[in-house]
């Protein structure tokens, strides 16, 4: 049986973003496959998470070590402003929290503007919806990966709210019998 609620901060992942009308075709040239349709994510066999935010903005995150090398060409081009016209870098310095355990929906019921139960139902270990909403007054992006261990929600938020966001969620998690790491 899993813990009732676990909050972790996966700080070692490489994260990059870009947007623009030429972004999707440029990413295809780099061997990065993007999800079809707005507000969806997928994780490829290398462990590269690609989230489509709306229609032409993308968030990439290395979920495994191999993914960081797959992401390196895009990261380098965006950092050096060496991308084609119609592609614009998006600075990704997010504060990231992963929420797992047997009671995440109780935490979300107290903090989130969206019911995430349908999101969990529509998610697998490698694909699902991307939710843009707010938690405890902070704008966030949320995905859910569901596998045999249950749901694991990833929440990206503005880093300037790191202290507030972490302490508020940790306090609620503690009330729900959870732990933080």
d(CA 90, CA 130): 17
Given this model, what pLDDT does residue 177 score? 86
Question: How many other CB atoms are there within 10 angstroms of residue 161's CB atom?
Answer: 17
128: nearest Cα among 111, 158, 153: 153
CB 173 within 8 A of CB 1: no
CB 104 within 8 A of CB 4: no
The C-alpha angle with vertex 179 and arms to 175 and 181, in degrees rounded to 5, equals: 140
Q: Which fold has domain 15-90?
A: Alpha-Beta Plaits (3.30.70)
List pLDDT tens digits, range 29-46.
999 999 999 999 999 999
Segments making up each domain of the chain, as ranges: 6-10+94-180, 15-90
Rg (CA), the chain: 16
Q: What is the mean pLDDT of residues 87-116?
A: 95
List pLDDT tens digits, range 107-145.
999 999 999 999 999 999 999 999 999 999 999 999 999
Task: Locate all alpha helices (DSSP H) within 45-111, ordered by sequence.
Answer: 65-79, 104-111
CA atoms within 13 A on the CB side of 119: 24
d(CA 96, CA 56): 22
Q: Please state which of the ranges 2-6, 13-17, 24-28, 129-133 shows the lowest mean pLDDT.
A: 2-6
Query: Structure tokens of 60?
Result: 């990439």
Q: Which fold has domain 6-10+94-180?
A: Gyrase A; domain 2 (3.30.1360)
List pLDDT tens digits, range 76-91.
999 999 999 999 999 9
d(CA 176, CA 85): 49
């Amino acid at each position: 049986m899993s813990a009732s609620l676990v909050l972790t901060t996966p700080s070692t992942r490489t994260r990059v973003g870009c947007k623009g009308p030429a972004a999707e075709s440029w990413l295809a040239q780099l061997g990065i496959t993007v999800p079809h349709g707005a507000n969806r994510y997928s994780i490829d066999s290398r462990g590269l998470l690609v989230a489509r935010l709306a229609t032409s903005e993308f968030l990439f995150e290395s979920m495994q070590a191999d993914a960081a090398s797959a992401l390196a060409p895009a990261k380098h081009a965006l950092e050096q402003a060496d991308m084609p016209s119609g592609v614009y870098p998006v600075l990704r310095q997010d504060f990231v929290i992963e929420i797992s355990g047997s009671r995440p929906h109780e935490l979300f019921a107290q903090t989130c503007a969206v019911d995430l139960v349908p999101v969990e139902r529509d998610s697998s270990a490698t694909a699902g919806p991307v939710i843009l909403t707010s938690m405890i007054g902070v704008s966030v992006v949320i995905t859910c990966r569901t596998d045999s261990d249950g749901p694991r929600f990833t929440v990206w938020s503005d880093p300037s709210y790191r202290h507030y966001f972490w302490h508020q969620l940790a306090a609620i998690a503690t009330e729900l019998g959870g732990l933080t790491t």
